[in-house]
């Protein structure tokens, strides 16, 4: 492929100090059956481990954007998107990978939708140290009440399966400085765009390596931060969905060794900005008192 051809898709891969993982991610893009793409690796600030020349040598479609300082995942994605040339953007975390048919099937769905502001998620394979499963159980059918899809229906959408119009990302960028919940924040804001069209590919097309290595922002984010964000942006949630989001924070608070009074603090915030149901109350109790394997069983019952 010659470099003067405008790419249809821009694959955006932010990275920092994970050279082996990011090379695996890049190779999974290069193995796509759809070939008219560019790969933009955003090196998020100076680091000793990532060698831009080594990555660029993998293929002419690999472009390196080295940022002079660390800006965090949200703004690194924005920088890559602004630098991109494709009509569509596909996100890929540096420690995940894509299956070969991902771009072909998502491009086909985007063309079928035909709009200038599309979002096309797919299913993905989650791999942990102890399990492998396909997620989510159901994909969104449209943008209406998206917070209820995400939190009431357990519609977990992982960033490495995102595929959307570049125009949508430019008009609705990731929130600069927001950490850990930048994906949820973007989804809730983007699906409120008046012209957005949502269409899904009901196949697992990416692999999410959910391995706690102590380097993820989510592993060190205190529960107070997402609670404050949720309260400040409660208009992004329906009243039914708000308690389900806050209930999840019970796990973080419990893991941090907080007293049970924090559980009632979380429930009070949910009462102020949301509407309780028996199901949401059950989730508060389960997230605070049950071990992880019991939580998975509870989700299976309610889904």
Each residue's pLDDT tens digit, 23-77:
999 999 999 999 999 999 999 999 888 889 999 999 999 999 999 999 999 999 9
Q: Which residues contact 44 (CB under 8 A, 6 or more apart)?
A: 14, 15, 16, 67, 70, 71, 72, 73, 76
pLDDT over 50 (residue 233) = yes
Name the 3-class secondary structure at 292.
helix
CB-side neighbour CA atoms (13 Å) of 129? 3
**Dihedral sign (CA 241, 243, 244, 245):** positive
Gyration radius of the chain over CA positions: 19
Residue 221 · residue 248 · CB < 8 Å: no
Strand partners, 39: 11, 62
pLDDT over 90 (residue 169) = yes
Task: Write down the CATH number for the domain with range 9-209.
Answer: 3.90.550.10
What confidence category does residue 258 fall into, taking pLDDT thresholds of 50, 70 and 90? very high
**What's the average model confidence in pLDDT over 167-194?**
96
Q: Picking from 102-106, 130-134, 198-202, 226-230, which range would have the lowest pLDDT averaged per residue? A: 130-134
CA distance 27 to 20: 11
pLDDT at 237: 98
Q: Where are the domains of the chain?
A: 9-209, 222-302
* Mean of all residue pLDDT scores within the chain: 92
CA distance 216 to 126: 16
pLDDT over 90 (residue 296) = no
pLDDT over 60 (residue 2) = no
pTM, rounded to two decimals: 0.91
pLDDT at 297: 60
């Amino acid at each position: 492929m010659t470099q003067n051809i405008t790419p249809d898709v821009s694959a955006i891969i932010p990275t920092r100090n994970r050279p082996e993982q990011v090379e695996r991610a890049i190779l999974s893009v290069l193995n796509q059956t759809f070939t008219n793409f560019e790969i933009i690796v955003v090196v998020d600030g100076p680091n000793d481990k990532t060698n831009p020349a080594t990555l660029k040598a993998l293929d002419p479609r690999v472009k390196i954007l080295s940022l002079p300082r660390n800006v965090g995942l949200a703004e690194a994605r924005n920088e890559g998107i602004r630098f991109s040339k494709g009509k569509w953007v596909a996100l890929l975390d540096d420690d995940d990978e894509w299956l070969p048919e991902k771009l072909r099937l998502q491009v086909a769905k985007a063309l079928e939708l035909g709009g200038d502001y599309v979002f096309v998620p797919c299913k993905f394979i989650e791999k942990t140290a102890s399990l492998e499963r396909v997620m989510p159980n159901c994909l969104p059918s449209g943008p209406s009440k998206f917070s209820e899809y995400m939190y009431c229906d357990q519609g977990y959408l992982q960033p490495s399966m995102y595929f959307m119009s570049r125009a949508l990302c430019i008009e609705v960028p990731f929130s600069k400085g927001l950490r850990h919940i930048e994906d949820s924040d973007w989804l809730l804001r983007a699906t409120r765009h008046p012209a957005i069209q949502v269409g899904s590919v009901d196949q697992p097309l990416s692999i999410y390596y959910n391995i706690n290595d102590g380097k993820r922002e989510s592993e060190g984010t205190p529960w107070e931060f997402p609670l404050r964000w949720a309260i400040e942006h409660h208009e992004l949630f329906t009243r039914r969905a708000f308690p389900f989001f806050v209930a999840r924070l019970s796990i973080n608070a419990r893991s941090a060794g907080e007293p049970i009074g924090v559980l009632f603090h979380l429930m009070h915030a949910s009462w102020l900005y949301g509407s309780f149901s028996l199901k949401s109350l059950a989730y508060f109790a389960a997230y605070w008192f049950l071990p992880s394997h019991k939580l998975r069983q509870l989700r299976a019952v309610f889904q």
